[in-house]
């Protein structure tokens, strides 16, 4: 259906080709997944199928791309419109009209289809995508998942033989992503549509792919094969594959189900590791990657944690807090004995931190106490809550965005806010930096009321990296941006630039912030915010568009920050990130806190928010591959 | 006939609302009787109140009301300050007169303010205000996107451009708000005009990026696909359109000057015909079809004819009852309500009965709050 014949693309003004040596055929009715680190030309390759590269973007295309026999060199995008449906990364940039129904019809109108055909297909598509109730709604009022479905629907109505999707699930919450993928699955199975899709979040999509095309590096020829084969060599892979590689399974499992069926012996081996979940809550504040945050349910809670913590202090991430380690062990032991472990245990076993769990769980000091370890080293604010919201309600226009939310954040603690699109996560973050005034209840950050504090002063207490880091960046070069950040923060000149280099080496001083890759832009925005050294750092959906390497770096930095006593609150849809970073998970639904507790407790019991490793190793409480690796090292 | 709940299939044609509103506006232009004008405003206001949707443009009616009020106030202030052309005997009060140099003779600043002058000015202003309010009613009731969809095929692409511009305006405002709050995150001032100016460039950058992305998306979805048209037809289209427009220009010039009275009207008509022919032929290049265009049904006829009826009755009444329709300011008398024209104006209430009732959303659509 799609044939690439020795294709390479050189962007205008670029010294080297963005994509080179692509020679492959995607047969009809196949779901083909394009993977690779960011910046390897995935979007470029997708663009060549719809003809937007090079007709719209400029640049030079060598070789030949044919779609159903039509050569994209001689056919412009509009002449391929009946054959190829394209949905880009940002669905909002895709919409031409203002209501759902008109949007679905737009492509057919352009093609000049008869009115009764259009009507029939719109009805079919509304049903197929479950959009019937939304048909007359203005698109601007839809949630992210709904918008993504409308965008896909709007290209489906023309009955394209080929569907090209660029990161269709990246911006979506786990449930909405499932929805979209189910639709794609149905298209491939029932209609024989050929789907070519690029996606960073492999844990969501890889099991649906018939074939995977891996672009290992910029300008390198692709590796093509079955998902299991390619995942064996790929530099990017989902946690379930990582677990498979760790356990030496072959062929590699791609789904949680496959992995679970193999994992019997692994579970046995892990069950015999007494440390398991134990270093748990007390140690949680310390480091990520150490088996963290699961004090309660351990079968052998008492003795092990200290030992575990000491053992694992050797990993690089822990280096930052090498000092208090011994004490951390002592602390854990003490704490476990003194009952936070015991107290948590029944709740953990029951497995469901119900709605009522919200406020009380926040009040229980279990995740916070360990702040003692980093806090002692750092001094200020030890133990006490740094940011606190009590009975907080916020309205956005006529819509109540938050209802009676109670939240406490302590120093050295990382909290993940989760929940579906539109649950109020961003509003809560915004309220903590004073962007929204509460309509009732109170919020304090470092003893101040955010919306009544001047920006300059507030900057020293709390910093927010918004969903789109570009919003923060206004200068025309990285260097100018950094200077401005130093001035804003009253920091010593060079502070911000040094932070950028520490976060991510190789960011060009003279580059325009808008030209940076997603990962570089996030590093720059993070450095800009950190220049003022705010004790509370807020991140809104930080992993959108990041590949696994960039994500791992982010995880490491956040761990370092909490170890130094910073508090971190992140709103995210990325369950794997939450599992890696957060000590505590707070789940919001319709502006209310429905769960609040240690990550392991909240996340493991939820089918939506559980990371893959947790699903595979249930009922044991492992969250990340790193924890498993560490524990296995322990066992042997 | 009772009005059904509006949905896509029975939506009233946007053009019908405009005809109705223009009918009311035409009626307003024929009278200065404040009672009749107030009745017209009341009629349009009532129809808007019972038939407008929750859409953003429906809120524009309030803005037009305020604009009308501003017209009244401005006219009043000018009359008081500059005096009136109407000779009046009942002096309300006298402002100190400021003497002006000789070259400004004919202009008076201050001086006596007469009741007749004020009444005359207010009636004139009320007429203009009523006109504006009638246009506002059309704006509030008719969906602009649907109206543009009714354009001839050759102009469709222009219509799309306008729709895109309209839908991106709210996005720009949202960008503005987001970037202003981002200034706060950088520890800079987020209030005041200076902050607004500072975010202008990033907002424009963002808008530019988005429009490029939108253009790519539209291209990939077949925007601008054209049918092959024989060269002869293409040339004829060009000649007809250009020639027609030229004819319209020269014709209107002829009509407006004394010299060209003879050739003005025929040339204008011929030009119009040629331009319309060009548009029709131009439409053949477009392969577009239309998805569920608004149909001009019985209700659309009823709504538009009610507007036309109001206009017709008032035009007729202006000749039949000159005193009542345009009560003289001198001597000053209390205006009386001419019953027949008033009954005619009430015909404008018909849409409140026959136009489909907009569906009230049971629950407000959940705006995405992140």
* Token reading at B368: 């995405």
Dihedral of the alpha carbons of A182, A222, B218, A476, in degrees to the nearest 10: 110
B contacts of A86 (beta carbons < 8 Å) = 217, 220-221
Q: What is chain A's percent helix, strand, coil content, to nearest 5?
A: 45, 20, 35
The whole-angstrom separation of Cα A357 and Cα A532 is: 35
Q: Which of A51, A397, A474 to mutate against chain B (most B CBs within 10 Å)?
A: A474
B contacts of A118 (beta carbons < 8 Å) = 289, 291-292
Q: Which residues contact A138 (CB under 8 A, 6 or more apart)?
A: A98, A99, B55, B365
Residue A445 pLDDT grade (very low, low, confident, very high; cuts 50, 70, 90): very high
**Span B255-285, pLDDT tens digits:** 777 665 677 788 888 998 998 888 888 888 7
Query: Per the CB < 8 Å rule, is A155 touching B221?
Result: yes
Write down the mean pLDDT value for chain A: 80
**Span A94-153, pLDDT tens digits:** 888 888 999 999 999 989 999 999 999 999 999 888 889 888 888 887 877 788 889 989
Distance from CA of A338 to the nearest CA of B (A): 40
A contacts of B144 (beta carbons < 8 Å) = none
Query: Per the CB < 8 Å rule, is B186 touching A485?
Result: yes
Query: Per the CB < 8 Å rule, is B188 touching A488?
Result: yes
- Computed on alpha carbons and rounded to an integer, the radius of gyration of chain B in Å comes to 26
Of A52, A115, A422, the CB nearest to B219: A52
The whole-angstrom separation of Cα B306 and Cα B27 is: 12
**Span B222-265, pLDDT tens digits:** 888 887 778 888 888 889 989 988 988 888 887 777 665 677 78
Query: Per the CB < 8 Å rule, is B291 touching A118?
Result: yes
Residue A72 pLDDT grade (very low, low, confident, very high; cuts 50, 70, 90): very high
For the residues A514-540, what does the mean pLDDT come to? Answer: 89
Helix (H) or strand (E) holding A499: helix A495-503
- Residue A608: the pLDDT is 84
Of A94, A456, A471, the CB nearest to B217: A94
Beta strands in A504-615 (DSSP E): 536-540, 567-571, 584-589, 592-598
- Residue B9, chain A, CB below 8 Å: the answer is no
Query: Per the CB < 8 Å rule, is A81 touching B164?
Result: no
For the residues B35-62, what does the mean pLDDT come to? Answer: 90
Q: How many helices (H) and strands (E) are present in chain A, helices listed first? A: 28, 19
**Span A355-380, pLDDT tens digits:** 333 333 333 333 333 333 333 333 33
For the residues A39-50, what does the mean pLDDT come to? Answer: 90
| ipTM, 2 dp | 0.74
Residue A444 pLDDT grade (very low, low, confident, very high; cuts 50, 70, 90): very high
Give the single-character DSSP code of A85: E
CA–chain centroid gap for B354, Å, is: 23
* C-alpha closest to that of A618 among A636, A603, A633, A599: A603
- Bridge-based pairing of strands B91-98 and B109-114 is antiparallel
- Computed on alpha carbons and rounded to an integer, the radius of gyration of chain A in Å comes to 25
Of A108, A111, A472, the CB nearest to B186: A472
**Span A596-632, pLDDT tens digits:** 999 888 888 788 889 999 999 888 888 899 889 988 8
Q: How many CA atoms lie within 13 A of A350 on its CB side?
A: 9
The whole-angstrom separation of Cα B46 and Cα B66 is: 17
Residue B322 pLDDT grade (very low, low, confident, very high; cuts 50, 70, 90): confident
Q: How many helices (H) and strands (E) are present in chain B, helices listed first? A: 13, 2
For the residues B110-116, what does the mean pLDDT come to? Answer: 86
- Residue B96, chain A, CB below 8 Å: the answer is no
**Span B357-368, pLDDT tens digits:** 887 654 444 444
Contact A614, A623 (CB under 8 A): yes
Distance from CA of A532 to the nearest CA of B (A): 9
**Span A163-202, pLDDT tens digits:** 999 988 877 888 888 888 988 998 899 889 999 999 988 9
The number of C-beta contacts closer than 8 angstroms across A and B is 201
pTM for the whole structure: 0.74
**Span A290-322, pLDDT tens digits:** 333 333 333 333 333 333 333 333 333 333 333
- Residue B188, chain A, CB below 8 Å: the answer is yes
Dihedral of the alpha carbons of A322, A323, A324, A325, in degrees to the nearest 10: 40
Distance between first and last Cα of chain B: 46
For the residues A477-481, what does the mean pLDDT come to? Answer: 91
């Amino acid at each position: 259906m799609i044939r690439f014949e020795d294709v390479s693309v050189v962007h205008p003004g670029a010294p080297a080709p963005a994509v080179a040596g692509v020679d492959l055929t995607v047969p009809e009715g196949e779901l083909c997944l394009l993977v690779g680190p960011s910046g390897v030309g995935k979007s470029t390759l997708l663009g060549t199928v719809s003809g937007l590269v090079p007709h719209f973007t400029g640049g030079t295309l060598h070789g030949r791309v044919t779609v159903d026999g039509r050569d994209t060199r001689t056919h412009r995008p509009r002449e391929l419109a009946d054959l190829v449906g394209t949905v880009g990364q940002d669905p909002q940039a895709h919409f031409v009209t203002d209501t759902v129904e008109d949007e679905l019809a737009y492509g057919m109108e352009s093609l000049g289809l008869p009115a009764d055909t259009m009507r029939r297909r719109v009805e079919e598509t509304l049903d197929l995508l479950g959009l019937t109730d939304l048909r007359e709604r203005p698109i601007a009022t839809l949630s992210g998942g709904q918008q993504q479905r409308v965008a896909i629907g709007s290209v489906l109505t023309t009955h394209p033989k080929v569907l090209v999707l660029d990161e269709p699930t990246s911006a979506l919450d786990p449930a909405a992503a499932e929805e979209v993928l189910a639709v794609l699955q149905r298209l491939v199975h029932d209609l024989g549509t050929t789907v070519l899709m690029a996606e960073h979040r492999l844990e969501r999509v890889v099991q649906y792919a018939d074939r995977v095309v891996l672009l290992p590096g910029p300008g390198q020829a692709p590796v093509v094969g079955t998902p299991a084969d390619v995942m064996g060599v790929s530099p990017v892979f989902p946690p379930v594959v990582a677990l498979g590689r760790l356990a030496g399974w072959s062929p590699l499992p791609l789904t949680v189900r496959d992995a679970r069926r193999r994992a019997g012996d692994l579970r046995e081996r892990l069950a015999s590791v007494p440390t398991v979940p134990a270093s748990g809550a007390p140690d949680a504040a310390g480091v990520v990657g150490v088996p963290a945050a699961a004090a309660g349910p351990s079968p052998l809670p008492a003795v092990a944690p200290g030992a575990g913590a000491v053992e694992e202090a050797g990993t690089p991430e822990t280096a930052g807090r090498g000092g208090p380690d011994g004490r951390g062990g002592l602390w854990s032991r003490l704490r476990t004995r003194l009952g936070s472990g015991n107290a948590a245990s029944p709740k953990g076993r029951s497995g469901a931190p119900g709605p009522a769990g919200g406020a009380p769980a926040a009040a229980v000091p279990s995740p916070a106490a360990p702040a003692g370890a980093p806090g002692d080293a750092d001094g200020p604010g030890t133990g006490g809550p740094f940011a606190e919201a009590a009975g907080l309600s916020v309205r956005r226009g006529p819509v109540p965005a938050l209802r009676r939310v109670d939240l406490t954040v302590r120093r050295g603690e990382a909290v993940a806010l989760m929940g579906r699109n539109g649950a109020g996560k961003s509003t809560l973050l915004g309220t903590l930096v004073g962007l929204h005034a509460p309509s009732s209840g109170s919020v304090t950050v470092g003893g101040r009321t955010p919306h009544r504090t001047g920006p300059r002063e507030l900057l020293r207490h709390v910093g927010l990296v918004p969903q789109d880091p570009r919003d923060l960046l206004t200068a025309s070069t990285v260097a100018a941006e950094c200077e401005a950040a130093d001035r804003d923060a009253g920091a010593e000149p060079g502070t911000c630039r040094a932070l950028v280099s520490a976060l991510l080496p190789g960011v060009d001083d003279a580059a325009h912030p808008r030209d940076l890759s997603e990962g570089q832009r996030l590093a720059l925005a993070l450095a800009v915010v950190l220049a003022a050294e705010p004790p509370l750092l807020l991140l809104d959906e930080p992993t959108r568009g990041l590949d696994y390497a960039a994500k791992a770096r982010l995880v490491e930095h956040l761990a370092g920050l909490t170890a130094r006593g910073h508090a971190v609150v992140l709103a995210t849809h990325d369950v794997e990130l939450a599992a890696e970073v957060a000590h505590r998970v707070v789940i919001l639904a319709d502006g209310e806190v429905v769960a609040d507790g240690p990550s392991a407790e909240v996340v493991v019991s939820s089918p939506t928010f559980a990371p893959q490793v947790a699903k595979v190793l249930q009922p044991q409480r492992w969250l990340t591959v790193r924890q498993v690796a560490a524990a296995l090292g322990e066992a042997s | 006939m009772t009005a059904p709940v509006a949905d896509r299939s029975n939506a009233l044609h946007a053009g019908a609302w405009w005809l109705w509103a223009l009918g009311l506006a035409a009626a307003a232009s024929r009278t200065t009787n404040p009672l009749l004008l107030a009745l017209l405003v009341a009629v349009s206001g009532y129809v808007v109140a019972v038939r407008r949707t929750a859409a953003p443009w429906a809120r524009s009616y309030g803005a037009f009301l305020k604009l009308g009020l501003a017209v009244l106030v401005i006219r009043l202030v000018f009359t008081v300050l500059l005096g009136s052309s109407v000779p009046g005997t009942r002096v309300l009060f006298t402002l100190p007169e400021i003497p002006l140099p000789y070259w400004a003779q004919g202009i008076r600043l201050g001086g006596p303010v007469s009741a007749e002058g004020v009444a005359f000015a207010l009636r004139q202003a009320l007429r203009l205000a009523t006109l504006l309010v009638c246009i506002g009613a059309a704006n509030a009731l008719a969906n602009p996107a649907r109206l543009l969809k009714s354009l001839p095929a050759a102009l469709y692409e222009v219509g799309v451009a306008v729709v895109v511009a309209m839908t991106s305006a709210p996005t720009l405002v949202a960008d503005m708000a987001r970037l202003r709050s981002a200034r706060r995150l950088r520890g800079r001032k987020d209030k005041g005009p200076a902050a607004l100016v500072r975010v202008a460039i990033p907002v424009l950058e963002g808008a530019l990026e988005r429009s490029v992305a939108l253009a790519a998306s539209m291209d990939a979805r077949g925007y601008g696909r054209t049918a092959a048209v024989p060269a002869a037809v293409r040339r004829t289209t060009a000649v007809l359109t250009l020639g027609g427009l030229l004819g319209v220009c020269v014709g209107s010039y002829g009509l407006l000057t004394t010299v060209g009275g003879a050739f003005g009207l025929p040339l204008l008509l011929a030009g119009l015909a040629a331009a319309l022919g060009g548009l029709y032929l131009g439409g053949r290049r477009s392969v577009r079809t239309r998805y569920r265009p608004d149909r001009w049904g019985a209700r659309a006829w009823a709504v538009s004819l009610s507007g036309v009826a109001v206009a017709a009755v008032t035009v007729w009444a202006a000749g039949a009852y000159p005193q009542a329709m345009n009560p003289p300011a001198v001597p000053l008398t209390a205006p009386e309500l001419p019953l027949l024209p008033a009954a005619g104006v009430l015909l404008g209430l018909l849409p409140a009965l026959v136009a489909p009732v907009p569906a009230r959303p049971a629950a407000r659509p959940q705006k995405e709050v992140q």
